[in-house]
Every structure is written in structure tokens, then in C-alpha cells.
């Protein structure tokens, strides 16, 4: 069943390569949705959501990309070894890890953290 999702995601990659961002966004979003509905493996879903976040960053849709990057971090944390999770939990008691990841990504696009996270 992931064949349909694969087709959408391949088309999204092609649209992105051609800088057709609205088409890439829609195809990637639908592909991610199908993967979730088909209960694909979570690491695969995280990878595809990260690609969607990249598309949103390219379009300067920073509110969407920040939420998606935070989702990816939460999903990937589940697959880390227990020792690493413990270290991350200690470091990110207030969920600063999510903000730090989003901040680093946004910095790639010349956006200051305070523009997106005003606290």
C-alpha cells in the first residue's frame, strides 16, 4: 500500500527539484498523510515530515516548519538508546531541545529565533 505514498513522494521530490514549491508541498503533505494512514514505520514518516518542513522553510512558512521539525525531534527521540534519551531529557527539561533544533534550521534561512519564538 505504501506504493501510492511512494509515488506522491517521488513526485514531490521532482517538483522540489524544479522549485515548484506549492506542488511539492501538496504532494509531500499528501504522501506523509498516506504513510500515517498506512501505519508506515515511524522513522520513515519522520524523514518525510522533515522533507515537508524543508519545503515550508524554502517558502518561508516558518510557523509550519518549526512545528514539523519539533514533531520530527519527538518522533526520533523514541528511537534513541535509553542512555541518550536520558541525557536529552536532562538537557531539555523545558523542551528547549525542540526550539534549539528549530532555531538552528531557521538560522540557515537568515531568520532570528526571536522572530518565531518571541519569549
State the Cα–Cα distance between residues 14 and 87, nearest whole angstrom.
39
**Residue 20 class from Cβ within 10 Å (0-12 exposed, 13-18 middle, 19+ buried)?**
middle
36-65 pLDDT, tens digit per residue, is: 999 999 999 999 999 999 999 999 998 899
Please check the confidence at residue 82 and state whether its pLDDT lies above 60. Answer: yes
Q: With bands split at pLDDT 50, 70 and 90, how would you rate the model's confidence at 77?
A: confident
Domains and CATH numbers, the chain: 2-116 (1.25.40.10)
pLDDT digits (tens, 9 = 90+) for 93-116: 555 555 556 656 656 666 554 444
First to last CA, the chain: 44
Amino acid at each position: 500500500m505504501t506504493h501510492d505514498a511512494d509515488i506522491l513522494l517521488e513526485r514531490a521530490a521532482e517538483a522540489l527539484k524544479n522549485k515548484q514549491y506549492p506542488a511539492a508541498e501538496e504532494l509531500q503533505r499528501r504522501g506523509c498523510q498516506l504513510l500515517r494512514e498506512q501505519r508506515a514505520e515511524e522513522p520513515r514518516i519522520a524523514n518525510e515530515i522533515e522533507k515537508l518542513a524543508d519545503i515550508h522553510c524554502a517558502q518561508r512558512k516558518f510557523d509550519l516548519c518549526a512545528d514539523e521539525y519539533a514533531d520530527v525531534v519527538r518522533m526520533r527521540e523514541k528511537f534513541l538508546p535509553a542512555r541518550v534519551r536520558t541525557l536529552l531529557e536532562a538537557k531539555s527539561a523545558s523542551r528547549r531541545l525542540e526550539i534549539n533544533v528549530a532555531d538552528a534550521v531557521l538560522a540557515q534561512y537568515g531568520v532570528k529565533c526571536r522572530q518565531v519564538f518571541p519569549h
